[in-house]
Amino acid sequence: MRSTRGLLALSLCAGFGFASLGANSASAPADTPAEIQLDPLPTHWIAERPVGRGAGPVTRAMLEEPFAEDSRWLHYGGTYKNFRHSPLEQLSPANVSKLQVAWAFGTGTVGQFEVSPILYDGVLFITSSYNRLFALDAKTGAVLWRYDHQNDPNLPLCCGPANRGVAITGDLVLMATLDAHLIAFDRRTGEIAWDTEITDYTKGFTATSAPLVVDDLAYIGIAGGEYGVRGFIDAYETKTGKRVFRHYTVPAAGEPGVETWSGTSYETGGAPAWTTGTYDRELDTLFWTTGNPSPDWNGDDRLGDNLYSDSLLALDPKTGEQKWYFQFTPHDVWDYDGNSHIFLVDTTVDGTPRKLIAQANRNGFFYLIDRSDGSFVKGKPYLEQLNWATLDANGRPVVNPRAMPTDEPTERTCPSNLGGTNGAYTGSFDPALGLVFVSTIESCQAFAKGISVFVEGIPYLGGLPELVDAAAGKSYGNFVAIDASTGDVRWRARERYPMMAGALSTRGGVVFSGTLDGEAVAYESKTGKVLWRFRMGGGVRSQPIAYELDGRTYVVYGSGSFATLDDFAGGPQNIPEGGHLFVFVLPEG
């Protein structure tokens, strides 16, 4: 492995050096070095020989596979259906308690470690906070190549230095960066194939999600809803990095939907697309979701529904043209982003077979939406505490007026601004059981409305959530199983702290997630019975995956949280930050 160096040289003792030279200037030769120069630290380690087991490029057929293969995990959501359901039967209630650590790996970074690993050809592709990208031997954990992206230390980030993983296609892996680049690497060596600037991050844009690849295009949505940006979803040629289209999530003057913004508030409307979408080949439709309108907690200057914030969008994958939308939270003043994990579920509802999108939304309701036309099918609360609204027959919220932000709020409103669940982590879906699994946050806040001040590149919030339950130590979490046909909660497994971890279910009947106080947890899929816990240390914010390699069965977790958001949620306050990857394995035999 060879390394390349960053641009910044490190000079030590420069001041001392000059002072010494000054004292001896009469006798110092003119060419005496004035500084002690150290080599800059490496930032990029390239594999000198192609890594992996010679499987060849990732093909379109592989990316289309309906279920994740045992020895591959090629999408953020496992497959285009986004189920995050492993076909592995080896991981069962009978043996999951025997999992033991195969190897571990430190990322060297703080902040939330939210990765969903990609596995291909015996190589795990891992991203950490601050955009470190590692190619690791999936069996041993050995570093095969590594890239440390050099971000501005003062990035305008609302919510921490997260990255949720890469996409893979052909011989490329693609990572989006906090400073709004999309970079393609040769998966075999780590060399950069292309690097495209998505947009100007200094205006408050950032990219935290894993890209999605469909055919020859890579899609990435942008974050920045706390900065009054205009959200968008981009498509890029995977071969060249050239942009093919940009779909804005807030209309411009004269476009349909702009009438849902008072005045010129659409110009700073937000609606970021900060999570990963998915694709339906049969309908040839790209599905993406959007976040809050800006400013977050004061809607007085953006009266109206504020389309297309907090919405599910159906797009033409080649042009970006919008086919339809469904808005979960019109005129959001609580920060209930619409972009939690979506599942492409085919099931029977009230006796009728339906092609649906299922989503446990951040606003606390579980939704079933017809994915052919965006019509509302069903919506039910999945939280134990929800009082901001009910839903009418069309799925539109009927807002509790006492939940609206005020100058001096007193109403304990549920869920909190972090939501019942959150787009920063995934759920999973077991098609055999028909159950959606999600981590939930049971926490309520009082929403304060203040004066909104828009300045480009500075948070544009208009208010704040008072941390009622979090401050009182009353926040808690549940891991929840929801019937995808009825929206009914089948079981809840309570945890002491709010849960903010992704999910992985297996054909063997086990579902994995984790806790903010640092435990990996496995539950029985049918019942919610806890089968296994392992203390990793750092709070779990990652998306676990499983794979089989050389006859052994592995489960991968990232450990490491972000204290600021833990504070918001009401999580533990005394756990240090720091990313560590844990790879567990079932014993032989």
Partner 1 sequence: MPCALHLAVLLAGVAIVTGCVRGNGLPPSPAEVYQNSDPAAIRRGRLLFTGTCGGYCHSTKPGNREAPYLFDCSWTYGGSDREIFASIADGFPDTRMPAWGGKMPEGDADIWRVIAYLRSRRSCVNAD
Active-site annotation, residues: 335
* 410 contributes a contact to partner 1 by CB under 8 A: no
Q: Which of 78, 320, 462, 539 binds partner 1 (CB under 8 A)?
A: 462
Please list, residue by residue across 523-538, b when 16 or more beta carbons sit within 10 angstroms of its beta carbon and e when fewer do.
bbbeebeebbebebbb
Which CB atom, from 508 or from 570, has the smaller least distance to partner 1? Answer: 570
262 or 564: CB nearest partner 1: 564
Single out the residue of 407, 410, 550, 589 in contact with partner 1 (rule: CB under 8 A): 407
Check residue 8 for interaction with partner 1 (CB under 8 A).
no
- Give the per-residue contact string, 90-129, with partner 1 (x = CB under 8 A; - = no): ----------------------------------------
Cα(304)–Cα(180) distance, rounded to whole angstroms?
A: 30
Within 10 A of 465 (CB to CB), how many other CB atoms are there? 24
User: How many residues in the chain?
Assistant: 589
Closest CA to 562 of 579, 546, 547: 579
CB of 449 to partner 1, least distance (A): 7
Query: Is residue 70 a contact residue for partner 1 (CB under 8 A)?
Result: no
- Pick one of 12, 28, 36, 453: the residue that binds partner 1 (CB under 8 A): 453
Q: How far apart are CA 210 and CA 77, in angstroms?
A: 10
Smallest distance, partner 1 to C-beta of residue 573, A: 6
Tell me which amino acid residue 566 is: D
Q: How far apart are CA 10 and CA 488, in angstroms?
A: 59
Q: Show the DSSP H helices in 381-508 as ranges.
A: 468-472
Residue 474's φ and ψ, nearest 5 degrees, are: -105, 0
Residues 6 or more apart whose CB falls under 8 angstroms from that of 134 comprise 105, 107, 124, 125, 126, 127, 128, 143, 145, 146
Residue closer to partner 1, measured from CB, 154 or 352: 154
Helix (H) / strand (E) containing 352: strand 352-360
14 binds partner 1 (CB under 8 A): no
Residue 105 DSSP class: E
Nearer to partner 1, 298 or 385 (CB): 298
Site string for partner 1, 257-296 (x = CB under 8 A): --------------------------------------xx
Q: Name the minimum Å distance from CB 574 to partner 1.
A: 10
DSSP 107-143: -S--S------EEETTEEEEE-GGGEEEEEETTT--E
Near partner 1 by CB under 8 A: residue from 77, 117, 122, 156 = 156
Q: Does 450 engage in binding with partner 1 (CB under 8 A)?
A: yes
* Least distance between partner 1 and beta carbon 530 (Å): 28
401 binds partner 1 (CB under 8 A): no
In whole angstroms, the minimum distance from the beta carbon of 329 to partner 1 comes to 18
In the complex with partner 1, which residue's Cβ is closer, 226 or 517?
226
State which residue, 33 or 153, has the beta carbon closest to partner 1.
153
Other Cβ atoms within 10 Å of 89 Cβ, number: 12
The residue from 170, 257, 459, 514 that contacts partner 1 (CB under 8 A) is 459
In terms of CB distance, is 160 or 514 closer to partner 1?
160
Contact set for partner 1, span 463-522 (CB under 8 A) = 463-467, 471
73 to each of 121, 335, 430, 498, how far by Cα in Å? 10, 32, 16, 28
Joined together, the tokens standing for residue 111 give 């902040």
- Least Cβ distance, residue 66 to partner 1 (angstroms): 40
Question: According to CB under 8 A, which residues from 564 to 583 bind partner 1?
Answer: 564, 566-567, 573
CA distances from 243 to 191, 235, 291, 469 (A): 21, 6, 23, 45
Q: How many residues bind partner 1 (CB under 8 A)?
A: 34
Cβ-based nearer residue to partner 1, 115 or 470: 470
Would strands 504-506 and 85-86 be described as parallel, antiparallel, or unpaired?
A: parallel
Residues 295-324: x where in contact with partner 1 by CB under 8 A, - otherwise, as a string? xxxx--------------------------
Q: Which residues of 97-130 are buried (b: 16+ CB within 10 A; e: fewer)?
A: eebeebbebebebbbbbbbbbbbbbbbbbbbbbb
Phi, psi angle pair for 98, to nearest 5°: -90, 0
Asked whether the beta carbons of 323 and 348 are under 8 A apart, the reply is: no
- In the complex with partner 1, the residue whose CB is nearer, 130 or 297, is 297
SS3 262: coil
Binding segment toward partner 1, per CB under 8 A, in 46-54, 69-77, 148-156, 437-445: 148-156
Q: Which stretch binds partner 1 (CB under 8 A): 301-309, 373-381, 462-470, 515-523?
A: 462-470
Question: Which phi and psi angles does 367 have, rounded to 5°?
Answer: -115, 145
* The binder of partner 1 chosen from 344, 563, 583, 586 (CB under 8 A): 563
Residues 420, 433 contacting (CB under 8 angstroms): no
Q: How far is the CB of 475 from partner 1 (least distance, A)?
A: 13
Residue span 165-204 as binding mask against partner 1, x where in contact by CB under 8 A, dash where not = ----------------------------------------
The residue among 505, 532, 528 whose CA lies nearest residue 98 is: 532
Q: Which is nearer to partner 1, 404 or 464 (CB)?
A: 464
CB closer to partner 1, 100 vs 573 = 573
Shortest Cβ distance from residue 110 to partner 1 (Å)? Answer: 11
Task: Select from 75, 245, 261 the least CA-distant residue to 165.
Answer: 75
- Choosing from 25, 27, 154, 410, the residue that interacts with partner 1 (CB under 8 A) is 154
Smallest distance, partner 1 to C-beta of residue 453, A:
5
SS3 (DSSP) at 326: strand
DSSP state of 469: H
Q: How far apart are CA 135 and CA 125, in angstroms?
A: 5
Residue showing tokens 């959200």 = 231
Provide the mask over 214-233, with x wherever binding to partner 1 is found by CB under 8 A and - wherever it is not.
------------x-------
- Residues lying near partner 1 in the complex (CB under 8 A) are found at 153-154, 156, 158-159, 226, 295-298, 407, 448-453, 455, 457-459, 461-467, 471, 563-564, 566-567, 573
